[in-house]
Amino acid sequence: MSYDLVVIGSGPGGYVAAIRAAQLGMKTAIIEKYNSLGGTCLNVGCIPSKALLDSSEHYHAAEKNFEEHGIKISSLKVDMPQMIKRKDGVVEQTVQGIDYLMKKNKIDVYHGMGSYVDAHKIKISKSDGSEEFIETKKSIIATGSKPVTPDAFNYDKKRVITSTEALNITSVPKRMVIIGAGVIGLELGSVFARLGAEIEVVEYLDRIIAGMDSDCSKELMRSLKKLGFKFHLNHMVTGVKSGKSGVKVDVKAREGENAFTLDADYCLVAIGRRPYTEGLGLENTKVVLDDKGRVEVNDHLQTAEPDIYAVGDVIRGAMLAHKAEEEGTLVAEILAGQKPHIDYNLIPGVVYTWPEVASVGKTEEELKSAQVPYKVGKFPYKALGRARASMDVAGMVKILAHKDTDEILGMHIVGARAADMIAEGVIAMEFRASAEDIARSSHAHPTYTEAVREAALMATADRAIHI
């Protein structure tokens, strides 16, 4: 077979690239080494983690808040196997949706490991041991990423686990140690904390979700401590030993002599992910990797081999599904002769804890270090009627605007439904709106979005109405 475009990897970067290319008239194929399409995101990432976050949040709300709402439940219990079964059902339905989209767009799907024979010929090694060869004018590497698991942590997939295994634990652990206070650690830690596990997090840096605005880190840390999280900031794990029924995690302060050992049922390693290029046969092409093992690309996401492009987690930038999707679309459109563009500053970041954290644009720390003159507008959730009605009063909206022009430079939200609300910030910034533009737009009452308007009022004129 011969194609206009072959995409290797069927995650959000790969399958979206394939669909867009097919829409633009290219004869397209996609290769996926696993039996199900959708990549990390649909199978062991975004979708299953959100399914468990939602289930555990329902349980937690029932346990902690229902009585105050006037709802009494006499025997509340966690049925973990059922929770996992529902999660698996959500994943299955979602990946079947991708099968449907491939058929609808007449994209040929190959299951097997794809590897380059040369820049225009790709071998597919199938699970039954057979091989198939296909030819293509162009191709996209969309092979994603894998968790970082240093040897000293003795990752055994049983007691020392990554997110992949954590999504399938079938009884609530008593105690879990999490290495890394990034997105995965805090999201999956929340799942188990809500279900009753004791969570201890060891983080190398001096704050949690370190890439986000520091006000968000503080707000989230306060909420997670209330949920029962214990944090060891400025500490690192030097080694993990696992036995049949538990783990011992050796922890040491970054500076000074403080050292101790934590015992737990599980140790979740969540210290980042690395690009995945093993077995791709890149040595048979001119594709170059950078010092972090990422496929090197130019602004058009083209590798050093002109007919091979790369998108998503396997290249530089945030490891996010929607970033990968934007890049998949961009490459397909470039191949069709269009001139698309991605503004990476406007890719939002979300942490699906409760309260959620969502952010777009520059943080206050970034504006300070770039010496950009800015104004800050903040509004707390507790001043919102909507938040009081639902008992979700933790959080705030923070808007950063240019001091002279009033242009919005960043929006940072901690609170209920922040993940959905950040879209207002993205759109406003896409249109280069001023804080006054948002402040003068009607926001329905009572909604959480009123906090965005009030924060904009604070940023533009220091005059919120409700505080």
Where do contacts with ligand FAD occur on this chain (CB under 6 A)? 8-14, 31-34, 39-41, 45-46, 49, 113-115, 142-145, 163, 184, 276, 279-280, 312-314, 319-322, 324, 352
Q: Which is nearer to ligand FAD, 34 or 204 (CB)?
A: 34
Question: Distance (Å, rounded) from C-alpha 11 to C-alpha 30?
Answer: 10
Q: Is 111 known to be catalytic?
A: no
For the window 326-365, what string marks contact with ligand NAI as x by the rule CB under 6 A? ------------------------xxx-------------
Residue 7 binds ligand NAI, judged by CB under 6 A: no
Residue 237 binds ligand NAI, judged by CB under 6 A: yes
Whether 440 and 459 have beta carbons less than 8 Å apart is answered as: no
Q: Please identify which residue in 32, 165, 200, 203 interacts with ligand NAI, judged by CB under 6 A.
A: 203
Closest separation between CB of residue 357 and ligand FAD, Å?
Answer: 12
Closest separation between CB of residue 203 and ligand NAI, Å?
Answer: 5
Strands 108-111 and 28-32: parallel
Q: Please identify which residue in 48, 173, 185, 312 interacts with ligand NAI, judged by CB under 6 A.
A: 185
114 binds, among ligand FAD, ligand NAI, none (CB under 5 to 8 A by kind): ligand FAD
Residue 34 binds ligand NAI, judged by CB under 6 A: no
Residue 318 binds ligand NAI, judged by CB under 6 A: yes
Per-residue three-class SS string for the chain: CEEEEEEECCCHHHHHHHHHHHHCCCCEEEEECCCCCCHHHHHHCHHHHHHHHHHHHHHHHHHHCHHHHCCCCCCCCCCHHHHHHHHHHHHHHHHHHHHHHHHHCCCEEEECEEEEEECCEEEEECCCCCEEEEEEEEEEECCCEEECCCHHHCCCCCCEECHHHHCCCCCCCCEEEEECCCHHHHHHHHHHHHCCCEEEEECCCCCCCCCCCHHHHHHHHHHHHHHCCEEECCEEEEEEEECCCCEEEEEEECCCCCEEEEEECEEEECCCEEECCCCCCHHHCCCCECCCCCECCCCCCECCCCCEEECHHHCCCCCCHHHHHHHHHHHHHHHCCCCCCCCHHHCCEEECCCCEEEEEECCHHHHHHCCCCEEEEEEEHHHCHHHHHHCCCCCEEEEEEECCCCEEEEEEEEECCHHHHHHHHHHHHHCCCEHHHHHCCCCCCCCCCHHHHHHHHHHHHCCCCCC
Closest separation between CB of residue 321 and ligand NAI, Å?
Answer: 7
Q: Which is nearer to ligand NAI, 127 or 238 (CB)?
A: 238
Question: Distance (Å, rounded) from C-alpha 400 to C-alpha 410?
Answer: 5
Residue 270 binds ligand NAI, judged by CB under 6 A: yes
Residue 199 binds ligand NAI, judged by CB under 6 A: no
Question: Distance (Å, rounded) from C-alpha 435 to C-alpha 367?
Answer: 16
Residue 183 binds ligand NAI, judged by CB under 6 A: yes
Q: Which is nearer to ligand FAD, 49 or 329 (CB)?
A: 49
Residue 276 binds ligand NAI, judged by CB under 6 A: no
Residue 116 binds ligand NAI, judged by CB under 6 A: no
Residue 205 binds ligand NAI, judged by CB under 6 A: yes
Closest separation between CB of residue 57 and ligand FAD, Å?
Answer: 15
270 binds, among ligand NAI, ligand FAD, none (CB under 5 to 8 A by kind): ligand NAI
Q: Which is nearer to ligand FAD, 163 or 359 (CB)?
A: 163
189 binds, among ligand NAI, ligand FAD, none (CB under 5 to 8 A by kind): none
Q: Which is nearer to ligand NAI, 123 or 252 (CB)?
A: 252
Say which residues have a Cβ less than 8 Å from residue 352's Cβ, sequence separation at least 6. Answer: 49, 50, 53, 187, 419
Residue 20 binds ligand NAI, judged by CB under 6 A: no
Question: Distance (Å, rounded) from C-alpha 31 to C-alpha 8?
Answer: 5
451 binds, among ligand FAD, ligand NAI, none (CB under 5 to 8 A by kind): none
Q: Please identify which residue in 47, 107, 184, 301 interacts with ligand NAI, judged by CB under 6 A.
A: 184
279 binds, among ligand NAI, ligand FAD, none (CB under 5 to 8 A by kind): ligand FAD
Residue 308 binds ligand NAI, judged by CB under 6 A: no
Q: Which is nearer to ligand FAD, 51 or 237 (CB)?
A: 51
Q: Which is nearer to ligand FAD, 295 or 451 (CB)?
A: 295
Q: Which residues are tagged catalytic?
A: 445
Q: Which residues bind ligand NAI (CB under 6 A)?
A: 179-185, 187, 202-205, 210, 236-237, 270-273, 318-320, 350-352
